[in-house]
Chain A
Amino acid sequence: MNLAIRDIRHNAGRFAFTSVGIGLLLMIVMGMGGIYRGLIHEATLLVDSVGADLWIVQGSTRGPFAEISRIPANLEDRVRAVPGVAQARRFVSHTIQREHQGQPLRMVVQGLSWPEDRGDWITLVAGRPLRQAHYEMIADQSLKLPLGSHIRLGKDFYQVVGLTRGMVGTGGDGLTFFTVSDAMAIQFDQPGEATRLERAARRARVEAVDLGRLQPLLLDRADGMAEGIPALAPPQVSAVLVTLRPGADVATVRRTLATWPDITVYSTQEQKDLLLSGMVDKAKRQLGLFRALLIIISTIIIALIIYTLTLDKIRDIAMLKLIGARNGVIGGLILQQALLMGAFGYALAWWIGQYAFPKFPRLVLIDPADLVSLAIIVVVISTLASLLGIWKAMNVEPNTVLSA
């Protein structure tokens, strides 16, 4: 006869309420793990899907995911000349926040190296990749920009021609894909007045030096576009992505590139590791601490409830001892109740999570291995939580049954 189940049946309401409480706590524990997995997934999604063999970033920096990286856009031409390199693409990535239909809209702007890269590698849920050099964009569904809609960024309007799902940046903002030149136009957009002021300042600087007076053409150039002045730096990009020829030796190509003092080369795995050891690592520790705290709280709650349930039936336990029930029967009653409470709580956590997690603003990714490890944790904490009740029960004298 299973005493635990009969007692639970008798105290069904109390057991159910406690299990719901435990379940909600465990759901948060489960969710924290899921948020961490989601963070990793989102953080590495772009690095994984962009499919580069090597990442070339500004010398002595850790790349665009860790800090600001600026390298000249024409570096890709130099890289293409390295033996073993099949393709080099400019990579531009930056986050912007604009207003759209009266609401703030944050997005990660990714530049595709048009015309080589039109975004064919991006998994679309609707629409198509880019088909023209300007004014088209692919957006993630999380940005809630409908297919075919137009959005003004800087001075230009861009049409949403493709939609992705679940493609977000490390900060959880939806990714958008433009051609590199559009991405840079969005990044470096400044008001007309600022351009006029910059050109006036430039002219004043040139007029102030002998060279300006000796070379009148320079004064004319100073009034024009920045691209028309050879002495000014070419446009900057965040990184250059390298795809190697089939059979090319990564180490050899890397060794060659490593001799260039103005850049640093990372493999895709190194770029991911940098990403994960940076911002994700802190989030991981934070979430881990919260999980540990919640597990401790769950243990204490289960322990207190089990202890209270044990106190409630102290006379029954004394009666069981009086009629000769072994300690195993009495301990089993309490342990099984704790385990059942944990199991119900766990099942409830999983069930609620199925509905709740998709509604979270960030991706919550529940890994089966995490579910198994949490199940083991629940068994352990339920067992620990029952110890207090078992200790109390073991110390009950059979003659307690005679007390009023």
Chain B
Amino acid sequence: MKPPPAVEVTHLRKVYGSGHTEVVAMRDATLSIVPGEIVGMFGPSGSGKSTLLTAMALINPPTSGQISISGQPVMDGPRALVDLRAFRRQHLGFVFQKANLIPFLTALENVQIALEVNDTAPKLARKRAMELLDYLGVGPRANNLPVALSGGEQQRVAVARALANEPSLILADEPTAALDGPLGRQVMELFAKIAHEKNAGVIVVTHDHRTLDVFDRILDVEDGMIQIRPHSSPPDCK
């Protein structure tokens, strides 16, 4: 039986403001990402990439349209169909341009907290967090505070945090913008590895065209519209 899409967006429209201040950020977005697929989302600033990403992250309700995650309808227009915070906790992982690590927690604790808020026992959460840090190559830095970590290390810890609860969908907003070229590529390859090994849908918003080969599919977002770039298709369609 075919697994449900990691995320499915149907006729999504997002309008900010009203009247003469109205701005249409997303016009009519329809999109489906399958588990194990890594999708790159490109587009100029203000094209609507982040609006679409935050809508899928369930922190920016759309004006209209539907969002389903792992086959479960979660948004119908601005109306939430589930407890969004609990749903995010169980199904979504986030990585941003800045690592956004909690500064008073060590690298290990930053990952551990994501597990603990999802009701994992502290001992088990600690063990799992350590495994993830080892998997991402920052195990030796586990007990350092974020301030003592390099940008790349911080981003890896952020990725580990995003993976902590084995989400079905990982959303990354320009995760390599603060990293140099080789390190940025490393992180992108890491996302591809995660998508394929952990069977998660991964959507990466980026401007970095040097990493095009990493993605299974590329979406171009312009003026609130999505276009699938030719010669890119979901893995099972290749």
A residues sitting closer than 8 Å to B (CB atoms) are 1, 3, 6-7, 9-11, 313, 315-316, 319-326, 329, 397-399, 401-402
Contact = CB atoms under 8 A, between A and B. Distances in A.
Interface residues of B, number: 29
A183 to B, nearest CB: 69
Given A324-B88, A326-B85, A315 B100 contact: yes
Interface of B: 50, 54, 57, 59-60, 85-90, 94, 96, 100, 102-105, 109, 112-114, 116-118, 122, 145, 161, 173
Contact of A316 (B103, B109, B118, B173): B103
Contacts of A402: 50, 54, 59, 96, 173
Contact of B96 (A3, A313, A401): A401
A1 B59 contact: no
Given A401-B96, A402-B54, A402-B173, A320 B104 contact: no
A6 to B, nearest CB: 5
Contact of B90 (A1, A319, A324, A398): A324
Contacts of A329: 117
Contacts of B85: 321, 324-326, 398
Contacts, number: 71
A6 B109 contact: yes
B109 to A, nearest CB: 6
Interface of A is mostly: helix
B104 A7 contact: yes
A168 B219 CA distance: 89
Given A326-B117, A399-B60, A402-B173, A11 B104 contact: yes
A319 B114 CA distance: 10
Contacts of A326: 85, 117
B108 to A, nearest CB: 10
A11 B103 CA distance: 10
A393 to B, nearest CB: 14
A201 to B, nearest CB: 87
B113 A322 contact: no
Contacts of B112: 1
9 contacts: A313-B102, A316-B104, A319-B100, A320-B102, A320-B113, A322-B88, A323-B94, A325-B89, A402-B173
Contact of B113 (A1, A315, A398): A1
